[in-house]
């Protein structure tokens, strides 16, 4: 994909104003919301740039050339590893995280203290068995957990990039990952696995670097973002940018933080991760710690309180500008367009083995989009398995305890390991 940079709309340089962050008026949460575990910043409190406590690798002498025509140098990738790399470095599995994920797939998160987001999948004796495989999970470029992103220091100014950070794409994220993989001496990955935006990265790996990927498992994903998904992302971006504390992207220099806007963006996105049936079963029209409606704008319903909790919990671990950049990267992803509208062209002559997974209640990345991937692979006589899993848990099912998914992935990985001679 060729992206042309519009030089008539250069990003604003961040120059601190004389406005004090203490002038802002933070609304208090209702007692019901506080009971639900929500919290907002104290008056004048500012969230620092979020960083990783794990492993990092900085590439100083190899600029990362981006699809926009810009380049990042130096650039850093933060990552976590699990298991042991074997002597011939043939047992490496790359895990690609989703939009709001990070490298802590199977280890405690340094900010939230919670267990890894894919503990159900990764670990000793689990489908991705760390007794057998070396598992590598990097934070994407543009992220906020230690990899270079808009909250990182711009070496040209000594200040946070903000909107001076170049727009990145899924292809740029994967290109950065290739540098990390190469630096570890891994010539071919045994498998690349990920769901949602992670699945987009899997497809990018399989399309651009197929000789480096023995097997691939794209889960709950698509070869391009739909107009509906772009629309949802635009709502989220506008929520962030409408927050007066965003300061045209310069909130770190201004010592502020667009917490409210980012929380609303997260609330809107979180709805898309669930199914109507899942929401109904979990909440219905149940009231939140009250016997009757208040005839006001408090969180009368449990589902309202839940979404507020999800929103304000999210801002403690994520950077607002990173949210803008990563959602835009997903919007730009389009393997069809890169191959003259013919998706099969993305996988021409591929030798990679595939397992494509979808979920019946996922309306964010519906099964029809997974079938498009399968049809494109079949057109190339690729080795592909496909499983559509019956569930009412929506898009987030790939993160949850879905026995059929766990069994399918375990079986596929075991079969691929036998074919590669790892067992």
Q: Which residues are catalytic?
A: 196, 362, 395
Q: Are 62 and 36 in contact (CB under 8 A)?
A: no
Cα 234–chain centre separation: 16
Give the full edge-to-edge strand order of the sheet including 75-82: 55-59, 75-82, 134-138, 92-96, 189-195, 213-219, 353-359, 383-389
Compute the distance between CA of residue 393 and CA of residue 267 in angstroms, rounded to an integer: 17
**Terminal Cα distance for the chain, rounded:** 39
Nearest-CA neighbor of 47 among 327, 325, 314, 326?
314
Alpha helices, DSSP H only, in 273-366? Answer: 276-282, 302-314, 320-332
Q: Are 49 and 144 in contact (CB under 8 A)?
A: yes
Is the previous residue joined to 6 through a cis bond, with omega within 30 degrees of 0?
no
Compute the distance between CA of residue 64 and CA of residue 175 in angstroms, rounded to an integer: 8
């Amino acid at each position: 994909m060729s992206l042309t940079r519009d030089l008539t709309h250069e990003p604003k340089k961040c120059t601190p104003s004389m406005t004090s962050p203490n002038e802002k008026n933070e609304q208090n949460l209702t007692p019901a919301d506080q009971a639900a575990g929500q919290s907002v910043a104290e008056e004048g409190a500012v969230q620092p740039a979020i960083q990783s406590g794990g492993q990092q690798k900085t590439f100083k002498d190899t600029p990362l050339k981006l699809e926009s025509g810009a380049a990042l140098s130096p650039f850093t990738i933060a990552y976590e590893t699990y298991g042991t790399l074997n002597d011939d470095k043939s047992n490496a599995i790359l895990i690609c995280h989703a939009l709001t994920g990070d490298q802590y797939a199977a280890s405690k998160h340094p900010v939230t203290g919670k267990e890894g987001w894919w503990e159900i999948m990764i670990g000793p004796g689990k489908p991705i068995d760390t007794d057998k495989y070396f598992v590598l999970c990097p934070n994407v470029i543009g992220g906020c957990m230690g990899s270079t992103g808009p909250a990182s220091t711009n070496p040209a100014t000594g200040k946070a990039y903000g909107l001076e950070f170049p727009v990145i794409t899924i292809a740029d994220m994967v290109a950065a990952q290739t540098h990390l993989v190469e630096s570890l001496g891994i010539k071919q990955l045994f498998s690349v696995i990920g769901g949602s935006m992670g699945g987009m990265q899997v497809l990018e790996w399989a399309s651009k670097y197929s000789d480096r990927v023995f097997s691939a498992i794209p889960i709950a994903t698509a070869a391009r973002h739909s107009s509906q998904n772009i629309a949802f992302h635009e709502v989220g971006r506008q929520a962030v940018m409408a927050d007066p504390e965003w300061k045209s992207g310069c909130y770190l220099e201004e010592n502020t933080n667009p917490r409210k806007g980012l929380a609303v963006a997260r609330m809107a996105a979180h709805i898309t991760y669930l199914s109507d049936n899942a929401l109904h079963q979990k909440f219905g029209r149940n009231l939140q710690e009250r016997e009757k409606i208040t005839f006001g704008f408090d969180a009368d319903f449990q589902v309202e309180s839940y979404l507020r909790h999800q929103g304000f919990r999210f801002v403690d671990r994520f950077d607002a500008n990173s949210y803008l950049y990563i959602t835009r990267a997903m919007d730009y992803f389009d393997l069809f367009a890169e191959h003259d509208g013919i998706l099969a062209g993305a996988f021409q002559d591929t030798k990679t083995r595939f397992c494509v997974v979808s979920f019946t209640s996922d309306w964010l990345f519906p099964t029809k989009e997974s079938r498009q991937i399968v049809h494109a692979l079949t057109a190339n006589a690729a080795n592909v398995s496909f499983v559509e899993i019956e569930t009412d848990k929506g898009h987030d099912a790939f993160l949850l305890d879905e026995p059929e998914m766990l069994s399918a992935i375990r079986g596929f990985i075991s079969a691929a390991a036998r074919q590669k001679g790892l067992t």
